[in-house]
Structure 1
Amino acid sequence: MTEETAIVADNFTLAQNVSTLSILENGIICTLMTLLILVTIIGNILVILSVFTHRPLRNVQNFFIVSLACSDLAVAIVVMPFHVIDYIYDQWVLGAVFCELWLTSDILCCTSSILNLCAIAMDRYYAIHDPINYSQKRTLKRVLLLILLVWSASTIISVPPLFGWNSSGKTLYDENNHVCHLTDERSYVVYSACGSFYVPLVVMSVVYLKVFLAVRQRLRQRTRNAAMSKLKSIIKRSSTNGGLKDNCCEDGVDENGQNSSETSVQKDASEAENSSESKRREKQAKAKGGEPQVVTQFLEQRQRISLYKERKAARTLGVVMGAFVLCWLPFFLMYIIVPFCDSCVRIGQLELFFVWLGYINSGLNPLIYTVFNSDFRKAFKKLLCGWKAVRNYL
């Protein structure tokens, strides 16, 4: 009896320790999830407010960023909190109807976030590849139409399971096990994975490569033109100096055989006349050609600024794409492999990690724009300082 009692006591202690570790682990995970939700909400709200309140950001192309921020904000408000509830209870407790709405919103918001990144990449490409023509085509109406197209495509990808395109043919909610899970129906998995991730990934990869090559080509062309201009200036200056040397004669004798001291007065008078003549021509050049020269310098400066911004935009786009691939690739590999692998076993913690790694992308986008864009940094600082002033006033 004593040994049996000791074994029971040991098992109880072990169960108690496991329960304590489980509670601690769940508490840490739920805290991290909540922090990610708050960061995503605050960051994307700041992005939206920055575009509408900060004048340098109030342009047509930034409406793509507003659309991206709206989709990421929807992920943080509509999708992520209910995932936390499902994790805490270890089952779905909100019923079949809300389960279908939640899963549809999950696919819709995440797909629209990815497609908005794709639209931003395409916008950057056309802005660099054909800036003059595209600046005329990039109207508010056209941009809003493209944003509507992004959300329409996301809707077309997300709603088919509601109409029976799923593994059960009826509903996404398993009433027996109280599980609300994405469908494993193979044809829909391929359809949604390609539309939500793999096709946008290919498009973004090709577009970003072209953006990188276009920026590099323009920078090289600019460097080559600057080098040629400098070389021409040196040649012109050296030829001018050579002409002056040809007029100088050795041993104090000029080309007419006269002593240089005898003609010094004549040279002084000639130089004075040339000086006055050159000053007069310079004044005429300034009066006639000064404005075109100023305009040329202004255009060159604008081009340098434009190339600098394009370079920064391309780098930002590269970071955004890198974060997008790192965050979403593990989930979509798992999403498309598991339905076709009968021997694969679902690991709950790993699946949870991959899902939330994808959600992290919605929180990273505002941080990326903050770090790599000075206008967004200024706007964020202005908004946060204004909020601090209001809070101190209250």
Structure 2
Amino acid sequence: MSTSPFNETTTLSVPTLTSEYNDVTTVSKAIETIVLVVIITITTVGNVCLWVIVLRSRALRTLTSMFILGLSTADILVGVVNMPITVYTIIMSRWEFSQSACVVFGFLNMITLVTSVLSLCSISINRYVMVCNPHMFKHIYTVRNAVAMIIGVVIFSILLSLPPLIGWSEYVYTPSHSFCFADWQNHMSYAFFMIGCCFGIPFIVMSVCNVLILRNVRASRLRVKTSCGEKPEYPEKTHLS
């Protein structure tokens, strides 16, 4: 017999999933809903404006902007797909959709989370190469390579999000957060794996890159001061057509 808390032939709107909300007041739900709606609005409008500005300005259509737009796309998906479902669930105080829908939205939640973190990591590496190894920048960051890197981030995010679909953890509804996500509490091995891959390693990479960039900038400033105002050379931005 399956140990899953959900019955595959019914929706998830059963009493056991709403018990954690018995003490939540209407005012608390209203405040939480308003805050999330504001976040959704800012997230969606802000990121759509970013796309419009970048696409309309040739000066901003650089390789670095491609990575930023990749991150922006993940944020837009969160704002228009994931968070509205959370708001609706908060209002209803229970999951109103099917088990399959919970799995789909849990999978999307995980993919967008991982994609956002890995995109930030890619941007840090891009900045590191440009500042600390400018002679290598144009060789590494061609349009073709940049597209391949962005696609690689998406594919890697999908692969990291697949285990709950094949038995290592599972996507379940979490009443305390009003959304579906991987059941880390009952599958600690997957939780530690994801924490390491999605937070630990990217955090270390971003920290190292930023520290090295800071050291390089300080060294460059020192050289400028001792060389009669001569400015250090950085690679010119590669504009996209």
TM normalised by structure 1 equals 0.50
RMSD of aligned alpha carbons: 2.5
Q: 1:25 and 2:38 equivalent?
A: no
- String of CA shifts for 1:183-233, please: whole Å, max 9, x gaps: 120111111111111111111111110011011111111111127xxxxxx
Asked whether the equivalents of residues 91 and 179 of structure 1 are also in contact (C-alpha less than 8 Å), the reply is: no
How far apart are residue 54 of structure 1 and its match? 0.9
2:222 corresponds to: 220
Q: Secondary structure at the match of 2:88?
A: helix
Q: Which has the higher contact order (CA 8 A, sep 6+)?
A: 2
Alignment coverage as a number of residue pairs = 209
Q: 1:92 and 2:95 equivalent?
A: yes
Task: Structure 2 unaligned segments of length 5 or more: list them.
Answer: 1-21, 237-241
How far apart are residue 149 of structure 1 and its match? 1.2
> Match of 2:89, as an amino acid?
D
1:61 corresponds to: 64
Identity of aligned residues (%): 25
1:194 corresponds to: 196
Asked whether the equivalents of residues 125 and 209 of structure 2 are also in contact (C-alpha less than 8 Å), the reply is: yes
Task: Structure 1 unaligned segments of length 5 or more: list them.
Answer: 1-18, 228-299, 310-394
Q: 1:180 to 1:123 in 2, by over 3 A?
A: closer
Asked whether the equivalents of residues 66 and 146 of structure 2 are also in contact (C-alpha less than 8 Å), the reply is: yes
**What is the 5 A alignment of 1:328-367?**
none
Larger radius of gyration: 1
How far apart are residue 172 of structure 1 and its match? 2.9
Q: Secondary structure at the match of 2:25?
A: helix
**What is the 5 A alignment of 1:226-245?**
226=228
Measure, in 2, the Cα distance between the counterparts of 1:43 and 1:166: 34
Measure, in 1, the Cα distance between the counterparts of 2:200 and 2:89: 28
- String of CA shifts for 1:257-291, please: whole Å, max 9, x gaps: xxxxxxxxxxxxxxxxxxxxxxxxxxxxxxxxxxx
Q: 1:159 and 2:162 equivalent?
A: yes
Residue number among 142, 150, 153 corresponding to 1:150 in the alignment: 153
Measure, in 2, the Cα distance between the counterparts of 1:118 and 1:126: 13
How far apart are residue 97 of structure 1 and its match? 0.6
* Runs of 4+ residues over 2 Å off in structure 1: 171-174, 178-182, 303-307
- String of CA shifts for 1:136-184, please: whole Å, max 9, x gaps: 33110000111111111111111210111116xxx6359xxx9845312
Q: 1:180 to 1:46 in 2, by over 3 A?
A: closer
Asked whether the equivalents of residues 70 and 119 of structure 2 are also in contact (C-alpha less than 8 Å), the reply is: yes
Measure, in 1, the Cα distance between the counterparts of 2:121 and 2:169: 27
